[in-house]
Amino acid sequence: MHLPDGLLPPGLAIAGYAVSGGTLWYTLRRIRQERDPTENIPKASLLTAAFFITSLLHIPVPPASIHLVLNGLMGIVLGTYAFPAVVIGLFFQAVMFGHGGISSLGVNAAMMGIPALLASAVFQLLKPQAQRFAFGINALSFTVGAGTLLLSAAIFVTLAITAIPADVDAGLEQRAIMIALTGYAIQAGIEGVFTSMIVAFLTRVKPELMNS
């Protein structure tokens, strides 16, 4: 789900940096206003590393393969820290392994990081109601994990279709992108299950790690 360098027109790449830069400024400002801004850095570092590594672990889904993104889980666990974590992870993915690119970093960060912030807000909003029911948190974390991935995938597909060059068979390219979207639907289910398992585990054994 990484948009590579050269695919997006310069104006859109610049707009991506503007949106991500503003969001990064806002989240860092919120973090600095916390009682102890450094308290959650170890937790954020751990999930940033997990986000970075998952790009290398591919799951075969013929005719292609997918990998976990974990931006829903990052939003649930990290809250405001999720966006800086996504930016750092994407930067090192682009520099070290060529996943995405530097010119498209702003768009990729917005595509994955802003849904992570929305995941945090939705989870915190619905958490009190979910706790009233057996397996309510499991269902909520599954829905948030899967929904966050689907939102990022929808943004990816929209941008990819919009940026198709004029000299490319647009119909063929759009069909390929829609096939990829089907793969993302499968990936969303996997993301939801994984997110639900991790949230349930942390809630049971280390509840202080959960974003509050």
- SS3 letters across the chain: CCCCCCCCCHHHHHHHHHHHHHHHHHHHHHHHCCCCCCCCHHHHHHHHHHHHHHCCCEEEECCEEEECCCHHHHHHHHHHHHHHHHHHHHHHHHHHHCCCCCCCHHHHHHHHHHHHHHHHHHHHHHHHHHCCCCCHHHHHHHHHHHHHHHHHHHHHHHHHHHCCCCCCCHHHHHHHHHHHHHHHHHHHHHHHHHHHHHHHHHHHHCHHHCCC
Give the pLDDT of residue 177. Answer: 67
Which among 156, 152, 130 is positioned nearest to 72, based on CA atoms?
152
Q: What percent of the chain has pLDDT over 70?
A: 86
Which among 63, 61, 83 is positioned nearest to 74, based on CA atoms?
83
What is the overall mean pLDDT for the chain? 86
Give the pLDDT of residue 101. Answer: 84
Among the listed ranges 7-11, 101-105, 164-168, 201-205, which one has the minimum average pLDDT value?
164-168
Can you give the pTM of this predicted structure? 0.88
Does the domain made of 10-209 have the CATH classification 1.10.287.180? no
State mean pLDDT over 65-78: 86
- With tokens 């054994």, the residue in question is 205
Q: Are 118 and 148 in contact (CB under 8 A)?
A: yes
Distance CA 15, CA 117 (A): 19
Q: Does 169 score more than 70 pLDDT?
A: no
Q: Does 173 score more than 80 pLDDT?
A: no
Domain ranges of the chain: 10-209
- Helix axes of 105-130 and 71-78: crossing angle, nearest 10 degrees: 60
Give the pLDDT of residue 204. Answer: 86
State mean pLDDT over 49-73: 75
Q: Are 174 and 181 in contact (CB under 8 A)?
A: no
